[in-house]
């Protein structure tokens, strides 16, 4: 059993919840400075007061980030180590079985105590923590900018007569809730700027980082055993460019007997196996001993499943947006808006449930819920993933 994205999500559920809560707390803190039920008598004075509150707001935001994320590095390391141990233990069971059949002559040192294992886990944790620190800096800048943007938008709309004060606050804070707090900014080669919300950025980094970690540990272990062949997993819903190599045999070095793993599956690259959004695994393979464990799926059926899962992600994102709108409306004292967001939230949750049932999809509570259910999922995943 190698590591799947679902397992990664289960091991990191607490970290995801932490960053979703962080984003909601920052939105709450910003919006609490813009109460709809306190219309000002003079807008210039109102604007001056908001800008005077900026220093206090910044200190609060720094405290919120520090308080919310204090446990993040420990959570990252715990998940990396847990996933790492599970990954190599599962492969080791296969190597040991192959050894009883005369495939290997010696057994290497226990997996988790090897120097390679320790180095790879440490390096992965170090770079993930550095990424989180950069995310916190971006989130603070984004929060300060959001505070100023709301102030300016409300001021402009009220003084030009476009909106009443309450309408202007509603519009500006809803815009903030929809956009969320930025956690990562990418500038493409063509200069196009893409922003990701803080929780989305963290989740994407964790999934990619843990997938790569698992793959590196597996390859390290294969070298320790002196094994050169791997088999890729296959699953319904794989993207077309990965469907071509799923469920096949490769070799880690050379390409005389089977195609080369790095050349065909692009291990270590963003578009390859265990890269962005990839849910594929690979397993040790012993020519003459193993029989391929995976079917090479029908590609048409595979693509239909992929489309259904993409639609599921769209529902999950819409649910998170309505939650942020509810937070913003409550903080501004806007009861009508809060109710509207909660009604929409209920409808979306119902639609998602139906879509998941109709298409027989896996519903991941960590993506849209917090608290008890996440812990239950984590336990369930650990049980299921015992080798």
How many residues bind Zn ion, per CB under 5 A?
Answer: 3
Complex with Zn ion: residue 264 or 378, whichever CB lies closer? 264
Cα separation of 118 and 259, whole Å? 30
The one-character DSSP state at 322 is H
Q: End-to-end CA distance of the chain, in Å?
A: 6
Cα→Cα distances 302→242, 283, 296, 297, 299, Å: 11, 21, 10, 7, 5
Q: How far is the CB of 188 from Zn ion (least distance, A)?
A: 23
Complex with Zn ion: residue 83 or 278, whichever CB lies closer? 278
- Let me know: does 92 contact 221? Beta carbons within 8 Å: yes
Q: Which of 61, 166, 217, 278 binds Zn ion (CB under 5 A)?
A: 278
Q: Which of 81, 242, 248, 367 binds Zn ion (CB under 5 A)?
A: 242
Tokens 């493409």 -> residue: 188
Q: How far is the CB of 88 from Zn ion (least distance, A)?
A: 21
Q: How far is the CB of 193 from Zn ion (least distance, A)?
A: 28
Pair of tokens at residue 329? 């409306």
Cα separation of 315 and 75, whole Å? 28
Complex with Zn ion: residue 280 or 324, whichever CB lies closer? 280
Complex with Zn ion: residue 28 or 264, whichever CB lies closer? 264
Strand 229-232 to strand 282-284: parallel, antiparallel, or no bridges (unpaired)? antiparallel
Where does this chain touch Zn ion (CB under 5 A) — which range of 164-172, 226-234, 235-243, 376-384?
A: 235-243
Complex with Zn ion: residue 9 or 334, whichever CB lies closer? 9
Which residue is nearest to Zn ion, using beta carbons? 278
Angle 211-217-220 from CA coordinates, rounded to 5°: 140
Complex with Zn ion: residue 44 or 271, whichever CB lies closer? 271
Show Cβ contacts of residue 245 under 8 Å, excluding neighbours closer than 6 positions.
232, 264, 265, 273
Complex with Zn ion: residue 205 or 278, whichever CB lies closer? 278
- Let me know: does 175 contact 25? Beta carbons within 8 Å: no
Pair of tokens at residue 145? 């900018």
- Let me know: does 219 contact 211? Beta carbons within 8 Å: no
Where does this chain touch Zn ion (CB under 5 A) — which range of 70-78, 113-121, 205-213, 278-286?
A: 278-286
Where does this chain touch Zn ion (CB under 5 A) — which range of 2-10, 74-82, 280-288, 315-323?
A: 280-288
- Closest by CA to 221, choosing from 111, 305, 122, 113, is 111
The one-character DSSP state at 260 is B
Where does this chain touch Zn ion (CB under 5 A) — which range of 33-41, 200-208, 223-231, 270-278?
A: 270-278
Q: How far is CA 62 from the centre of its chain?
A: 23
Complex with Zn ion: residue 114 or 277, whichever CB lies closer? 277
| Residues 92-151 within binding reach of Zn ion (CB under 5 A) | none
Q: How far is the CB of 287 from Zn ion (least distance, A)?
A: 24
Where does this chain touch Zn ion (CB under 5 A) — which range of 13-21, 108-116, 174-182, 275-283?
A: 275-283
Taking each helix axis as running N to C, give the angle between helix 13-31 and helix 72-100, from 0 to 180 degrees, rounded to the nearest 10: 160
Complex with Zn ion: residue 71 or 269, whichever CB lies closer? 269
Where does this chain touch Zn ion (CB under 5 A) — which range of 56-64, 150-158, 200-208, 237-245?
A: 237-245
Q: How far is the CB of 94 from Zn ion (least distance, A)?
A: 21
Q: How far is the CB of 149 from Zn ion (least distance, A)?
A: 39
Q: How far is the CB of 219 from Zn ion (least distance, A)?
A: 17
- Let me know: does 24 contact 322? Beta carbons within 8 Å: no
Cα separation of 6 and 281, whole Å? 12
The one-character DSSP state at 156 is H
Q: Which of 174, 280, 323, 324 binds Zn ion (CB under 5 A)?
A: 280
3 binds Zn ion, rule: CB under 5 A: no
Question: Exposed, middle or buried, 221 (CB in 10 Å: 0-12/13-18/19+)?
Answer: buried
Complex with Zn ion: residue 48 or 276, whichever CB lies closer? 276
Angle 145-147-149 from CA coordinates, rounded to 5°: 65
Q: For binding to Zn ion (CB under 5 A), which residues are involved?
A: 242, 278, 280
């Amino acid at each position: 059993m190698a590591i799947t994205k679902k397992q990664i999500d289960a091991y990191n559920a607490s970290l995801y919840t932490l960053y979703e809560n962080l984003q909601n707390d920052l939105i709450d803190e910003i919006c609490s400075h813009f109460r709809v039920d306190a219309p000002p008598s003079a807008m210039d004075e109102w604007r001056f007061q908001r800008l005077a509150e900026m220093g206090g707001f910044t200190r609060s935001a720094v405290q919120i980030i520090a308080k919310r994320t204090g446990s993040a590095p420990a959570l990252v390391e715990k998940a990396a180590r847990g996933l790492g141990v599970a990954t190599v233990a599962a492969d080791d069971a296969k190597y040991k079985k192959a050894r009883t059949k005369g495939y290997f002559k010696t057994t290497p040192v226990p997996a988790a105590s090897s120097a390679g294992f320790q180095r790879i886990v440490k390096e992965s944790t170090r770079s993930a923590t550095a990424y989180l620190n950069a995310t916190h800096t971006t989130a603070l800048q984004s929060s300060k900018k959001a505070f100023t943007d709301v102030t300016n938008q409300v001021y402009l709309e009220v003084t030009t007569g476009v909106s009443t004060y309450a309408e202007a606050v509603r519009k500006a804070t809803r815009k903030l809730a929809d956009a969320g707090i930025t956690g990562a900014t990418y500038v493409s080669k063509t200069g196009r700027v893409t922003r990701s919300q803080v929780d989305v950025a963290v989740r994407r980094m964790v999934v990619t980082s843990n997938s790569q970690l698992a793959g590196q540990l597996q390859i390290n272990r294969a070298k320790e055993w002196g094994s050169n062949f791997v088999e890729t997993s296959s699953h319904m819903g794989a993207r077309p460019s990965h469907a071509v190599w799923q469920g096949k045999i490769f070799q880690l070095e050379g390409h005389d007997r089977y195609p080369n793993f790095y050349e065909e599956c692009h291990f270590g690259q963003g578009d390859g196996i265990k890269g962005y959004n990839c849910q594929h695994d690979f397993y040790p393979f012993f020519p003459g001993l193993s029989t391929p464990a995976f079917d090479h799926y029908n590609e048409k059926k595979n693509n239909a499943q992929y489309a259904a899962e993409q639609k599921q992600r769209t529902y999950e994102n819409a649910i998170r947006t309505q939650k942020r709108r509810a937070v913003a409306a409550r903080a501004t004292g806007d009861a009508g808006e809060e109710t509207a967001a909660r009604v929409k939230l209920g409808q979306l949750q119902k639609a998602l449930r139906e879509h998941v049932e109709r298409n027989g999809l896996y519903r991941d509570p960590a993506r849209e819920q917090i608290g008890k259910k996440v812990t239950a999922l984590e336990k369930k995943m650990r049980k299921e993933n015992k080798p």
